[in-house]
Amino acid sequence: MNTLPNLAQVGALIGDPVRAAMLGVLMDGSERPAGELAEVSGVSPQTASSHLARLLDGGLLAVNRHGRHRYYRLRDSEVAHAVETLSVAADIAPRRCRAIDPGLKRARRCYDHIAGELGVAICDSLVADNRVVAGGDGYILSEAGSKWLKSHGLAPPADCRRPIVRSCLDWSERRPHLAGWLGMAILDEINKNGGVDRSFDTRSLRVTGNGRASLKRLFGMDWPPN
């Protein structure tokens, strides 16, 4: 008996190369029109529409309408988390014979939080200071972590429906970075005053001078490391 409902259906959706390419492009949390998704996945607009309809029906995408235009995005952070985790397993063999783009490896956007070397370094810093500790979805916010957030004017909303802290296994580093509300809040805080420049094509992030100052203020971290 299959005790994992819809696993085969979801696997078939993600396993198609065209649909996998579309999901990969949307992993930065962006919304994109069908024409752009057709271009990046190398298919005609008509073929793209068919694939997008399947992803919508399968619950992996959502669509927003702006006038006559339709913009597609990942349904939510749960889908992004699943895609990032599957990327780890899918990349075990290929990573032996290909190089990872240095910018993507250094820092990238994983839906609404930071991944790559920078995301892992932030996670390591918070664990080392006991601001996040083992528990819950990999980690939970400690009392010291709550005080640290308040000292920076940050606090999760009382009606927050997502995990405050979630561990997300990093595709390129094979170690956890932080997702959940805290991961989102950290990216938002660093991105104040243009803290990161975002690549629209590759998901990579470049930390600016303001971003480096924020990393120093929040985590005592020098970036990039010497």
User: Which domain CATH number covers 21?
Assistant: 1.10.10.10
Specify the number of domains making up the chain. 2
The tens digit of pLDDT for each residue in 165-187 reads 999 999 899 899 999 999 999 99
| pLDDT at position 99 over 70 | no
Cα 151 from Cα 224, distance rounded (Å): 25
Flag whether 12 is in a domain.
yes
Is the domain of 208 the same as that of 103?
Answer: yes
More confident site: 206 or 3: 206
C-alpha neighbours within 13 Å on the C-beta side of residue 161: 3
Domain that includes residue 42, residue range: 7-75
Is the domain of 64 the same as that of 168?
Answer: no
Is the domain of 98 the same as that of 205?
Answer: yes
Is the domain of 102 the same as that of 18?
Answer: no
Cα 39 from Cα 196, distance rounded (Å): 26
Flag whether 60 is in a domain.
yes
Flag whether 1 is in a domain.
no
Is the domain of 31 the same as that of 97?
Answer: no
Cα 201 from Cα 199, distance rounded (Å): 5
Each as own residue / partner, the long-range contacts of residues 196-204 (CB below 8 Å, 24 or more positions apart, any chain) are: 196/107, 198/28, 198/109, 199/103, 200/28, 200/30, 202/101, 202/103, 202/104, 202/108, 203/27, 203/28, 203/104, 203/108, 203/109, 203/110, 204/101, 204/103, 204/104, 204/106, 204/107, 204/108, 204/116
Flag whether 210 is in a domain.
yes
Is the domain of 104 the same as that of 173?
Answer: yes
pLDDT value at residue 158: 87
Is the domain of 135 the same as that of 182?
Answer: yes
| pLDDT at position 94 over 50 | no
| pLDDT at position 220 over 50 | yes
Question: Which residue, 49, 75, 101, sits at the end of a domain?
Answer: 75
Confidence tier at 101 by pLDDT (50, 70, 90)? confident
Is the domain of 100 the same as that of 195?
Answer: yes
Flag whether 142 is in a domain.
yes
Question: What's the whole-number mean pLDDT along residues 103-131?
Answer: 95
Whether the link from the prior residue into 45 is cis, omega within 30° of 0, is no
Residues 6+ apart with CB under 8 A from 153: none
Is the domain of 57 the same as that of 143?
Answer: no
Flag whether 81 is in a domain.
no
The tens digit of pLDDT for each residue in 137-152 reads 789 999 999 999 999 9
Structure tokens at 135: 């528990």
Q: What is the pTM of this model?
A: 0.79
The tens digit of pLDDT for each residue in 1-40 reads 555 557 777 788 888 899 999 998 898 888 999 999 999 8
CB crowding 36-51: b at 16 or more within 10 Å, else e: bbbeebebeeeebbeb
Q: State the DSSP code for 137.
A: B
Structure tokens at 16: 């198609």
Is the domain of 42 the same as that of 97?
Answer: no
Flag whether 198 is in a domain.
yes
Is the domain of 144 the same as that of 184?
Answer: yes
pLDDT value at residue 90: 63
Is the domain of 103 the same as that of 183?
Answer: yes
Flag whether 163 is in a domain.
yes
Q: Which residues pair with 167 in a beta bridge?
A: 178
